[in-house]
Amino acid sequence: MKLPISRRGLLAGLAASGIPLSSLGPARAAIPPRERTLCYIGGYNKHAPPGGAGNGQGIALFEMNRTSGVLAPISTFMDIASPSFITLSADSRFLYALSEIDDFNGKPDGSVTAFSVDHLSGELTRLNVVSSGGAVPAHLSVHHSGRYVLVANYVGGSVGVLPIRPDGSLGEPTDIVRNSGPRMPERAEDNPPGNFAVSDHSGPHVHMVASDQSGRFVLACDAGLDRVYVWTLDLATGKLKPAAKPFLSVMPGSAPRHFSFSHDGRMLYILCEQDSKIIVASFDPATGAITPQQKVSTVTSYFQGSTLAAGILLSPNGRYIYASNRLGDSLAVFRVGPDGLLTLIDEVWMHADYGRAMMFDPSGTFLFCANQRSDSVTSFRVDPKTGALDFTWHFTAVGSPTTFAFLKL
């Protein structure tokens, strides 16, 4: 009597037996692999510094239903401290996760962990862990060249450059740049009415670092000094050098937090945390110069009260910008005009508390929000023609989530 077996069951059984799928030869071609979308979610756990500890366990792995957007749990990599930001390499072979801590190896440093990614199961294998080059890192990105990981150290007020080795592991920092500048006010003059929230301006606090599309320039938002820094990166040495115009100063107290480039790399959208506004600027890909053109609020004129902007995201088609607001628990939807300028067209409730990072799934069908204080992820179906967000009513339980990375298999 023959027992029926599914294609998924057959592949899983072969993987568990240790038989390489490549050994099947032509027979494997008769069993086309099922397309899958995986989602990694990180956040805060008990290992974070005082005041930042959360309910997370590590890096949680989910599989996304491509029709409904529902995230089904698979596993959790628990041997990592507060992975509050993660990112994949361009080829998705490696995942890099910072640990938002201040005591790595007994020093006032955070750390970055390199993982290899199993493209059959999505499971992570740790390669190594290195210093981030400063305390309490808040963001990291892979340089456009694929040769370096760039790290923004919030409390350390520094940017670390970590070389990527051929096997995907990381070397010790090739450069650490520490910013300095005058003390700035805790609040901006153009706050929403009744905003009692403050941003930490006690010193430099680098919140995001990433390269432009060409890889020629590296930009960083310093929320403590109210500046956006611009450097060039020497690919041979891994050293940063200030651009001709080394930084853009923004409104005192506004706390520039994150940024997003237009698809052509000529417009830069800078999200300011404290006054919850976006600075729309032109970006010169030849010199790295940033020239502000517009400033728009991420809350409507009806809003009054405390809010802190958190994340900014450009739609896959480049026609819309989305921004998240903590405290206000809202998502702002902007239309991008032919000139790159923004028009606020909607403000949507997140259906949860303290929404931070947002990310589209690889198809651009769904937008996911990490809601730190609600211990949940919420999702919206996206209309690519209008930019409209339709709440799916799907909640995914994740302890203190703050970051996403999607993998299409």
How far apart, in whole angstroms, are the C-alpha atoms of residue 235 and residue 237?
A: 6
Residue showing tokens 């959360």: 54
Q: Which parts of the chain register pLDDT below 70? A: 1-33, 50-51
Give φ, ψ of 20 to 5 degrees. -70, 135
Give φ, ψ of 169 to 5 degrees. -75, 170
pLDDT confidence of residue 50: 66
Residue 385 C-alpha from the chain's centroid? 25
pLDDT confidence of residue 11: 46
The region, left, alpha or beta by phi > 0 then psi within -120 to 50, assigned to residue 12 is alpha
pTM, full prediction: 0.91
The region, left, alpha or beta by phi > 0 then psi within -120 to 50, assigned to residue 236 is alpha
**Could you tell me where the beta strands, DSSP code E, fall in 89-182?**
94-99, 111-117, 124-131, 137-142, 148-153, 158-163, 175-178
pLDDT confidence of residue 52: 72
The candidate with the shortest Cα–Cα distance to 378, out of 398, 405, 407, 408, is 398
The candidate with the shortest Cα–Cα distance to 58, out of 48, 71, 45, is 45
**Could you tell me where the beta strands, DSSP code E, fall in 235-338?**
239-249, 256-261, 267-272, 277-283, 290-297, 308-314, 320-326, 330-336
> What dotted CATH number matches 179-349?
2.130.10.10
CA torsion, points 353, 355, 359, 364, in degrees to nearest 10?
60
* Cβ-based neighbour number of residue 64 at 10 Å: 25
How far apart, in whole angstroms, are the C-alpha atoms of residue 172 and residue 170?
A: 7
> Cβ-count burial of 93 within 10 angstroms (0-12 exposed, 13-18 middle, 19+ buried)?
middle
Q: How many helices (H) and strands (E) does the chain have?
A: 2, 28
Q: What is the DSSP string of 283-296?
A: E-TTT--EEEEEEE
Question: How confident is the model over 193-209, as pLDDT tens digits?
Answer: 999 999 999 999 999 99
Residue at 118: amino acid letter: D
pLDDT confidence of residue 81: 96
Rg (CA), the chain: 21
Residues of the chain with CATH 2.130.10.10: 179-349
pLDDT confidence of residue 51: 66
* Cβ-based neighbour number of residue 369 at 10 Å: 29
Give φ, ψ of 15 to 5 degrees. -65, -40
Give φ, ψ of 12 to 5 degrees. -65, -40
Strand partners, 366: 381
The candidate with the shortest Cα–Cα distance to 230, out of 215, 221, 239, 243, is 243
Q: At 27, which helix (H) or strand (E)? A: helix 26-29
